[in-house]
C-alpha cells in the first residue's frame, strides 16, 4: 500500500498572512493621509476626492491589483466610506493649509480673533485669509481686515509721496506741480484695487451670516478722540445686554513722529481777547482702546472678541464718510446696527429701549431710527429720559457748493405710541436691523466728504425701501465741542499734508453726490467733462503709479454698487421730502415736525 505524499507546507502561515494584510492596510492608510496633506485646500470637496482617487490610480498595475484585492476584504478597523467622506468634510489644519468645512459652526468666519492691541498688529496667515476672502468664497473677518490694512498701508505710502510733491509745489521746487485731482485719483485707484474687489466678494458670498439674537454692532469712527474710552465705557455700562454688544472702531490717531507725523493741536485760542489762534505741538494721542481694555470692569469684553479695531495714522484720515465705510466692514453679522460718533454718553438700557422703538415703527423691519442727539447738558441718563427730536428741515448751503444740508426741527410728544416718519437721516445716530448694511452699503468713493453724506444716505436708503423714523426718546448724549477747546479736525491734517488743498478736496465728492441725488445740472456728461478739464491741469506721471490711468480722475466710479435703490423712485422721494432743485428750496415739512406720518 502506497503511502500518500505529505502535502507541501503552506507558503505562508495564517499568522503571517494576517501580518501581511495589516501591513498592506497600514500602507494604504499612510498613502491616503499623505494624499490628503498634498491636496490644494482651495479645491471644492468633489475635486479633492478626484485628486485623491487619481493619486491611488497612478500606481503600478500590481499596486492597483493589490488595492482591489484589499477592497474586497472586510476589516472592522478600517474607516467606512461614510467615515472617509466625513473626514473630507471636516476641518483639518496642517500648518497653513486648511480644508473647508461643511460642518463648521455658523460663526466660524469670526476666527481667528483679531488683536485689539497693539496698534497695527500683524495677522497670522494673512495672505491665505485674504485669498480665501477674495477668491475662494470663504470670507473671514480677519481676511477682511487684512484687505483693509493693505489699503491703509498703500494709502499711507501714497499720501507721504504726494505730500512731498505738494510741499515742493508750494515752494516752487516741483518739476511737475501737483494738482488736487492727482491726490483724488490716487485714492480712487487704491479704492478700486482693494475695496471694490472686497465688496464684490462679500456680496457674492452673502457674508456674514445674520444673527437674530438681539446682538448689537456699534460702528465708531474716532478721529484723535480724547474721550473714546469714556464713550465705550458708557455704552457697555448702561447696556441692558453688554455681552451682546460688539464694537467696530476705526481709530485715527497721531502716534507721534517727525515731520508730517508730528502731532499738533487744533486751532487754539492763545490770548485773553481770543483774537489770536494758532496750532501748537502736542504729545501723541492716548489710545482709547487701550484705556478701555485695561479697565478691569471692561477687559472681559475685549478678551471675548467684542471689540474690533482698525488703526490708522491721522495722515490717512480722510473724513467721516470713509471712516464709517471702514467701520462697517468690522460687522460680524450682529442682529442690529448702530452708528454713532465717538464722544457720547448713553442712557440706562439704551440698547433694549431702541430695539423696542424700532419694532414699533410701522415699516419694521425696514425701518431706521435716526436723530441728532442732544448735548450733554440737556441729556438724562436715568428716567425720565430726554424726549426725541426730529430731522425735518433742509437747506441748500451756498458756502458749500449748494449741497443739501439737513437740520433738526421738531420734538417728539410725550404721548406718542410709536415712532413717526421723517425724510432725513443724521450720520451721528442710526439704529436699524443689520440687513441695512447689505441693502445700503457704505460708499468708499466719498473721501474728504463732510457735507452731503447725510442727504446721499437718506435718499439711497429710502429708494432701497427703508423708511426713516425719529426715536421717541433720546438715549444718547453728544459732546458738541466748542472751538475754544482747540481739538484737531481731519481737514487741518489734510491741509498740513497738502497745503491749501483741503477745501478743494472736500468739494470733489459733492459732484458725485449731486449726480447721485439728481441735481439737474450734474448729469454724467457734465461731471465727466469737469473731470476731464481737471485732468488737463493735473500732473503728468512718468512712473508706474496706479493712478496715472485717466479713468481714476473721474468721481463717478462704481455708482452701480453704491447708487440708488430700485424699490422707490428718486422723484417720489423729492416729492415726499418737498425738495426742489431748480428753485433750491425745501418745504416746511409740517407733517414731519408734527409727527403726522407713521
> Using one digit for the tens of pLDDT, what is the confidence trace for 460-480?
999 999 999 999 999 999 999
Greater model confidence, 489 or 80:
489
Give the three-class secondary structure for 395.
Answer: strand
Contacts of 70 (CB under 8 A, 6+ apart): 21, 24, 25, 28
The SS3 of residue 90 is coil
How far apart, in whole angstroms, are the C-alpha atoms of residue 15 and residue 21?
A: 10
* Most confident region among 31-35, 45-49, 64-68, 356-360 by mean pLDDT: 356-360
DSSP 471: -
Alpha helices in 58-124 (DSSP H): 61-71, 81-89
Quote the cell numbers at residue 105.
Answer: 459652526
| Full-model pTM | 0.81
Whether residue 270 is predicted with pLDDT greater than 90 in this model: the reply is no
Estimate the crossing angle of helix 14-38 against helix 45-57, to 10 degrees: 130
Tell which wins on pLDDT, 58 or 498.
498
Structurally, the chain folds into a number of domains equal to 1
The DSSP letter of residue 378 is G
In a domain, 87, yes or no: yes
* Bond from prior residue into 256 cis (ω within 30 degrees of 0): no
Of 278, 260, 266, the residue nearest 225 (C-alpha): 266
Q: Residue 371 falls within a domain, yes or no?
A: no
Q: CB neighbours (10 Å) of residue 590?
A: 12
| Cell numbers linked to 86 | 466625513
Confidence of residue 533 (pLDDT cuts 50, 70, 90): confident
Domain enclosing residue 82, as ranges: 14-98
For 6, 7, 8, 10, the CA distances from 3, given in Å and listed in that order, are 9, 12, 15, 20
Closest to 295 (Cα-Cα) out of 227, 218, 225, 232: 232
10 pLDDT more than 70: no
Is residue 245 classed exposed, middle or buried when 0-12, 13-18 and 19+ CB atoms within 10 A define those classes? buried
The answer, yes or no, to whether residue 511 has pLDDT greater than 70, is: yes
Question: Is 53 inside a domain boundary?
Answer: yes
Give the 3-state DSSP-derived string for 531-564, with helices as H, strands as E and coil as C: HHHHHHHCCCCCCCCHHHCHHHHCCCCCCCCCCC
Residue 440 within any structural domain of the chain: no
30 occurs within a structural domain: yes
* CA distances for 6 relative to 3, 194, 548, angstroms: 9, 83, 94
pLDDT at 332 over 90: yes
Maximum alpha-carbon separation in the chain: 141
Please state the rounded mean pLDDT for residues 257-279: 79
pLDDT at position 553 is 84
570 close to 394: Cβ distance less than 8 angstroms: no
pLDDT class for 269, splitting at 50, 70, 90? low
- Does residue 24 belong to any structural domain of this protein? yes
What is the model's pLDDT at position 438?
96
3-state secondary structure of 207: coil
The sign one gets for the Cα dihedral 505, 509, 515, 519 is negative
Q: Please give the grid coordinates belonging to residue 301.
A: 469684553
Q: So what's the pLDDT on residue 485? A: 75
pLDDT at 24: 67
Q: What is the share, in percent, of the chain residues with pLDDT greater than 90?
A: 63
User: Does residue 484 belong to any structural domain of this protein?
Assistant: no
Cell numbers for 412, please give them.
417728539
The answer to the question of residue 277 being in a domain is: no
Amino acid at each position: 500500500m502506497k503511502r500518500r505524499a505529505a502535502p507541501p507546507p503552506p507558503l505562508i502561515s495564517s499568522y503571517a498572512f494576517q501580518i501581511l494584510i495589516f501591513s498592506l492596510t497600514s500602507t494604504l492608510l499612510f498613502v491616503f493621509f499623505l494624499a490628503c496633506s498634498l491636496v490644494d485646500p482651495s479645491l471644492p470637496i468633489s475635486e479633492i476626492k478626484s485628486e485623491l482617487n487619481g493619486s491611488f490610480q497612478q500606481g503600478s498595475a500590481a499596486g492597483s491589483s493589490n488595492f482591489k484585492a484589499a477592497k474586497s476584504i472586510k476589516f472592522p478597523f478600517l474607516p467606512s466610506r461614510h467615515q472617509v467622506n466625513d473626514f473630507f468634510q471636516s476641518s483639518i489644519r496642517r500648518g497653513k493649509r486648511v480644508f473647508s468645512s461643511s460642518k463648521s459652526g455658523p460663526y466660524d468666519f469670526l476666527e481667528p480673533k483679531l488683536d485689539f492691541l497693539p496698534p497695527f498688529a500683524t495677522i497670522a496667515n494673512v495672505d491665505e485669509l485674504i485669498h480665501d476672502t477674495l477668491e475662494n468664497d470663504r470670507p473671514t473677518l480677519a481676511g477682511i481686515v487684512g484687505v483693509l490694512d493693505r489699503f491703509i498701508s498703500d494709502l499711507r505710502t501714497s499720501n507721504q509721496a504726494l505730500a512731498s510733491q505738494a510741499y515742493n509745489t508750494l515752494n516752487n521746487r516741483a518739476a511737475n506741480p501737483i494738482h488736487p485731482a492727482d491726490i483724488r485719483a490716487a485714492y480712487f485707484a487704491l479704492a478700486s484695487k482693494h475695496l471694490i474687489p472686497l465688496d464684490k466678494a462679500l456680496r457674492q458670498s452673502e457674508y456674514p451670516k445674520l444673527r437674530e439674537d438681539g446682538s448689537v454692532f456699534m460702528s465708531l469712527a474716532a478721529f484723535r478722540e480724547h474721550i473714546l474710552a469714556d464713550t465705550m465705557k458708557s455704552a457697555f455700562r448702561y447696556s441692558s445686554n453688554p455681552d451682546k454688544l460688539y464694537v467696530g472702531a476705526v481709530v485715527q490717531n497721531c502716534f507721534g513722529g517727525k515731520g508730517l507725523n508730528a502731532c499738533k493741536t487744533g486751532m487754539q485760542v492763545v490770548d485773553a481777547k481770543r483774537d489770536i489762534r494758532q496750532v501748537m505741538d502736542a504729545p501723541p494721542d492716548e489710545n482709547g482702546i487701550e484705556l478701555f481694555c485695561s479697565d478691569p470692569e471692561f477687559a472681559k469684553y475685549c478678551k471675548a472678541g467684542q471689540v474690533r479695531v482698525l488703526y490708522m495714522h491721522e495722515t490717512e484720515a480722510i473724513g467721516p464718510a470713509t471712516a464709517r465705510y471702514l467701520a462697517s466692514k468690522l460687522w460680524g453679522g450682529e442682529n442690529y446696527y448702530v452708528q454713532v460718533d465717538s464722544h457720547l454718553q448713553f442712557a440706562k438700557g439704551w440698547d433694549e429701549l431702541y430695539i423696542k422703538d424700532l419694532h414699533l415703527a410701522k415699516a419694521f423691519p425696514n425701518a431706521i431710527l435716526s436723530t441728532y442727539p442732544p448735548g450733554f447738558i440737556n441729556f438724562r441718563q436715568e428716567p425720565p429720559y430726554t424726549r426725541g427730536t426730529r430731522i425735518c428741515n433742509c437747506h441748500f448751503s451756498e458756502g458749500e457748493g449748494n449741497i443739501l444740508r439737513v437740520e433738526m426741527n421738531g420734538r417728539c410728544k410725550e404721548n406718542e405710541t410709536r415712532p413717526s416718519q421723517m425724510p432725513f437721516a443724521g450720520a451721528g445716530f442710526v439704529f436699524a436691523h443689520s440687513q441695512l448694511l447689505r441693502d445700503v452699503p457704505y460708499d468708499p468713493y466719498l473721501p474728504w466728504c463732510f457735507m452731503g453724506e447725510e442727504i446721499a444716505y437718506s435718499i439711497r436708503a429710502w429708494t432701497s425701501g427703508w423708511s426713516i423714523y425719529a426715536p421717541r426718546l433720546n438715549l444718547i448724549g453728544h459732546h458738541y465741542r466748542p472751538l475754544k477747546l482747540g481739538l484737531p479736525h481731519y481737514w487741518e491734517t489734510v491741509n498740513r499734508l497738502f497745503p491749501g488743498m483741503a477745501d478743494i478736496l472736500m468739494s470733489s465728492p459733492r459732484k458725485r453726490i449731486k449726480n447721485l441725488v439728481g441735481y439737474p445740472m450734474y448729469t454724467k456728461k457734465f461731471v465727466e467733462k469737469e473731470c476731464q478739464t481737471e485732468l488737463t491741469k493735473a500732473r503728468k506721471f512718468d512712473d508706474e503709479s496706479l493712478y496715472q490711468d485717466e479713468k481714476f480722475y473721474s468721481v463717478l466710479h462704481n455708482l452701480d454698487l453704491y447708487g440708488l435703490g430700485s424699490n422707490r423712485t428718486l422723484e417720489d422721494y423729492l416729492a415726499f421730502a418737498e425738495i426742489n432743485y431748480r428753485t433750491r428750496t425745501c418745504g416746511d415739512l409740517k407733517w414731519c415736525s408734527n409727527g403726522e406720518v407713521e
